[in-house]
A and B are shown apart, each in its own frame.
Chain A
C-alpha cells in the first residue's frame, strides 16, 4: 500500500471500493456484528437504549496523543457513557479527500480498532465517500453509537442540586492546547498531549461506587467552563468554583498565560464533569484516582441555590469573579 492514495474510483462503488473496504476497514473492524450487507442486524439491548451521533473534523488529523480515528470513537462512546450507557454498537461514515494517502487512512483505522476494543464497542456498519480535492480537508468521520443504559442511575444536565460537589476527572484543556500548538507555528516547545480517551470504564467504576449521581458530562468543545454554564442554566442553579482546585497541567497553564487564554474554555476529549451529592464526592474521587484516565481527579467547586445561571470563581486573593459567559469573538473556536 506504499505511496498509494485514495482516488475518486475508490468511492465509485465498484471493485476499487470493495478493495478499500476490505483492505483497510474490514481488516481492522472485523467482529461478529460487522455487516457486509446494507444494514447490521443486532440483538436489541435490555432496558433503555442511548443513541448518539457526532461528526469529527480536526486539523491536524494527527496530533500528540491521538488522531481523528481515536477521537471519533472516544467522542461518541463518551457521549453514551455520560448518559450512564455502556457502549455496544457503533457505525461510522467516512468522507475522504481525493489523494489522501492510504497509509494515513490505515493508521486512522488502526486507532479506531484499538479504541473501540478498549471501549468494548462493536463497529457494526460503515460507509465511505470520496470527495474531490479541496472539497474536504483530509478525512471527516461521522460516528453513531448505541448503548445500554445501566439500571438505577439517572443523570442529566438538569439534575444538579444545590450542595452537590463538582468533580473533574483530570487536568483540563489539554486537547485544545495540543491542537492549538500543532496547528499554529508558535515555536512553543511544550510537552502537551491530547487527553483524548474512551471513558466508559471510568463512568462504570464511578457508578459501581455510588448510584447517587446527578450529572455526568464530557467537557469537549468549549471546555469545562462552557459545560458548567450549560448545567447552571439547565438546572437553574449557581456554580461556585475554587480556582486553585482546578487541575491544570503547568505546560497548559504556561501556554494559556502566553496566549491570554482561559484553560476553562479549552476543549478536552477525555475529561468528565461529575456532579454528585457532597457525601459521595470523596469516594468518587478515590475511585477515579485508581482509573487510568483520571489520576488527577479533583473536587473543584459546588452547586448553590443562589446566583442561578451563573458561574463564580473564587480566587486565592479572595475575589469572587463572575466567569465570563462562554462564546463570543475573544475566544477562538478550537475543535
Chain B
C-alpha cells in the first residue's frame, strides 16, 4: 500500500527528514520525504504492518528537538500508481500554509565533545553545530529552512562538510548551518588585525585581566567581563550607565552554578536544557560573584554557554587562566535594542568596552536571552525570547484569519496570529527609544515575510501616546484597539487555551483605561468578546507624570494626604516616615488639591512602590520594579523565618461596593500599615501582611464576582504577578474557595505577554466581524 503522511509541528531544521529516512529504511519502507515548509510530507510504500511500525517509531522516537503537533494520514493506494524502489529525501518545495519556525538551539553534548577533541576536524571551531543544535530563527531569511535561505548561504561547504551533509548516517546529514574550520564563518576583533584563534586568545586575555569585551553570539552582542572581579563589574556599570539593575551571569558549567546558587532538580533540567535561558536563582552565601553583579538582591540571573564561541571563552588550549563566571549583559546602550552587526557595535559599544569580538555570520533577527523564574518548581517566564520564540501557542478554537498584534510599550514583543496559532516574537524592548521603535518595525516586517502573513487587522493598545500604537497606525491596516489590562487577561486565557468566561485579576503597573484614567489593579469579567470592569483597588491620585512611576515616595505622600485629607496631619506622618522634605510635601499637596499633573489611578504597581516607601525599604526605584521587588524580598524573608500566628486584624473591611464598581479597600490597607509602622511594628512583617491582605482582598472580590456572574475560573495576569509571594498567597486562597485558577507559565505575566492577548482578541473579532 501507499500512504501519504503529513507531519506538522517543529519539523524543520531539527534533522527530521534524515531521521524519517533512517527509520523508513530500517522498517523496509520505500518512498520519499520532503519539506513542504508548513509540514513534512512522507510517501510510504510497503506492507501495512511495516508502515505502521515505522509510524510508531517516528512518533515514539522523533528527532530530539522536533515537536510533532499533528499527523495526517491518507491511504492513496487506490488512486495512485506511484512506485518506489528506494527511500529518498527530496529537496524542499515551497508550499503555503501552517508554518513553524524553529527557535535557536543551544550546542548539543556531542558537538561540545567534538569541540574539545583535538583529533576532531572541528576542534575549537566556534561555529560547530549539527542537526540537533545551532542557530535557526536568527539566521533565517525565508522558509522552507534550507541553507540558501539562511545567512549561511555566504559560506559554501567544503567537500568534507558536503559529504557529511549528504550522508544519511552522519549526524550532520541535512544540517543547514553545517560548516568547519575550512569553510565556516570566522571570528575576528573589530578594529584589530587578530582573527580566528588569535582573536579568541586576545579576548580571553583581556577578560582575564579585568577588561570588558563585547562578544557577538547567536542573537546579538553581549558585554562581557569577569563576574568575580568587583572592579571590572563596577567599571561596566559606570560605562553602561546602569548603577544598580542586576547583570546576567554566564557560568562555565552547572558545577559552577551550584557553587554560586541553590539549584533544584527541575531548575537544573532547564539550566542544562537546549534552550539555555537566564534562570533567576537564589544566591548561596559564600559565592564568588562580585557583590555589584546583583546588589542587594537575593537572586541572580544565571545561564550556561549556548554558543560554541562562548564555550571557547571559558576553555581553550592556551595558558590563560579564565574566571568561571562572566557577566553577560545585552550589548546595547541604554534604551537601544541589542546590537546585531558590526556597524551597530562600533557606534554604540565602542565606548563601553575594551575590545569587540565579532564574526561574519549575519544575524537576521535579533534575539535577546530569555529570562525565567521558577514558581512551584515549574518554569515561570519573565522574558520570552531566544530558544522559545517563535514557537507558536495553539488554541483549540477553530479560528480562521491573520492578525498582527503590536504589543505594549515596555518590554515590547509582538504576536502574529494565523488561524489558531499564535507566534510571539522575540523580545524587542522598551519603545521609548527611537532605535527600539525601528527594531520593532523591522522585525515585524521580517516576521511577516517569514510567516507569509498579510494581516487582515492590526491590534494595538488603547493608549493614544504609546509608540506601539503609532507603529500600528502607520502600517495601514484596519486597527483594533484593546484595553491594556483586558489584553493581559486574554493572554492568560490564550496561554491556558481557555474558552470559558473568566474573572480576570489584572494586577499591573499602569495602563490606559477606557475612562481616560490610569488603571492597573482591576477585577474584570472577561471573555473573548468583551469585558466589564467589575472592581478595582481604591483609586488614588498619581501626581507628577513619569516621575511618579519612578519615585514611590510621591505615591505614598499622595495616598497619605488622600486618607488624612489634612495637610498638617499628613505632614506629621510624612515627616516621621522620612518620605520627603516639607517643601516637597507642600508641592504634592497643592498639586493634589488643584489636580495639576495629577491623574486618577488604580495601579497596583504604584501601590507596591508606595508601601515600599512607607516601610522605609525603597523611596524610589533606580530601575523598573526595584522598590516593589525589594518589598517582596523582605516579605519573603519574613515568611521564611516566622509562622504568622495572628489573623489579619489590620483591615476589617476588605472590599466594599460603590455605584460604579466593587472597590478593594487598599486605602484602608495603606492607612493601617502606615499606622502600624509608626507604632514601631517590624517593616518585614508589615511587608508580608501587605501581601497577605492584598490576596484576601482579591479573593473577597472574586467571591463577589462569582456571585454576580456564576464564573468560577480566575485568570491572574499583569506584571505584579511576577511577585511569586503574592501569586502563591492569591492562588492558595482562591483554591480554598473552590476557584479554578489560571496563571501564566510560558508567557510572561508582564507587558512582554500582552501581544498574544491582543492577537487572540483580534482573531475573535475577525471571526465575528466586529469592530473592524
Contact = CB atoms under 8 A, between A and B. Distances in A.
A332 to B, nearest CB: 5
A205 interface: no
The 7 closest A-B pairs by CB, nearest first: A260-B544, A260-B547, A319-B335, A187-B586, A318-B333, A260-B545, A320-B434
Nearest to B516: A329
B241 A331 contact: no
A259 B591 contact: yes
A261 interface: yes
B596 A259 contact: yes
13 contacts: A186-B591, A187-B586, A257-B547, A259-B544, A259-B596, A259-B597, A260-B545, A261-B545, A318-B241, A320-B335, A321-B434, A328-B464, A332-B595
Interface string A55-81: 000000000000000000000000000
B597 A331 contact: yes
A260 B591 CA distance: 10
A321 B597 contact: no
Interface in B535-554: 543-548, 554
A329 B586 contact: no
B241 A184 contact: no
A187 B334 contact: no
Nearest to B550: A260
B464 A260 contact: no
B437 A322 contact: yes
A44 interface: no
A319 B433 contact: yes
Interface in A246-304: 257-262
B548 A322 contact: no
A328 B335 CA distance: 24
B212 interface: no
Q: Which of A180, A188, A319 is most buried by chain B, counting CB atoms within 10 A of its CB?
A: A319
A127 interface: no
Contacts of B465: 324-325, 328
Contacts of A324: 465
Contacts of A184: 590-591, 594, 596
Contacts of B241: 317-318
A187 B583 contact: yes
B600 to A, nearest CB: 10
Contacts of B467: 322
Contact of B333 (A319, A321, A329, A332): A319
B432 interface: yes
Given A260-B597, A307-B434, A320-B433, A186 B590 contact: yes
A264 to B, nearest CB: 13
Interface in B423-439: 432-435, 437
A312 interface: yes
Interface in A194-245: none
A332 B333 CA distance: 33
Contacts of A328: 464-465
Given A260-B548, A331-B597, A186 B333 contact: no
A332 B433 contact: no
Contacts of B594: 184
B772 interface: no
B104 to A, nearest CB: 28
Contact of B597 (A187, A261, A318, A320): A261
Given A259-B597, A317-B334, A188 B434 contact: no
Given A258-B584, A317-B241, A329-B599, A322 B432 contact: yes
Contacts of B76: none
A2 interface: no
Interface bin, chain B:
20 to 34
A330 interface: yes
A308 to B, nearest CB: 11
A197 to B, nearest CB: 26
A330 B545 contact: yes
Contacts of B435: 320
B587 A321 contact: no
A37 interface: no
A187 B580 CA distance: 15
A331 B597 CA distance: 6
Nearest to A240: B434
B336 A187 contact: no
B545 A321 contact: no
Given A260-B546, A332-B597, A318 B334 contact: yes
Given A187-B590, A260-B543, A330-B597, 13 more contacts: A180-B596, A184-B590, A187-B586, A187-B587, A257-B547, A261-B545, A317-B241, A317-B334, A318-B241, A319-B333, A321-B433, A322-B433, A329-B516
A19 B584 CA distance: 50
Nearest to B588: A258
Nearest to A189: B583
Nearest to A314: B434
A38 interface: no
Contacts of B333: 317-319
A185 interface: yes
B653 to A, nearest CB: 32
Contacts of B586: 186-188
Contacts of A310: 434
B590 A185 contact: yes
Contacts of A259: 544, 587, 591, 596-597
A329 B542 CA distance: 13
A319 B587 contact: no
A331 B543 CA distance: 11
Contacts of B433: 319-322
Contacts of A320: 335-336, 433-435
Interface string B371-383: 0000000000000
Nearest to A331: B597
A258 B597 contact: no
A165 B594 CA distance: 39
A332 B596 contact: yes
Nearest to B242: A317
B263 to A, nearest CB: 35
A327 to B, nearest CB: 9
A114 B545 CA distance: 40
Contacts of B432: 319, 321-322
B599 A188 contact: no
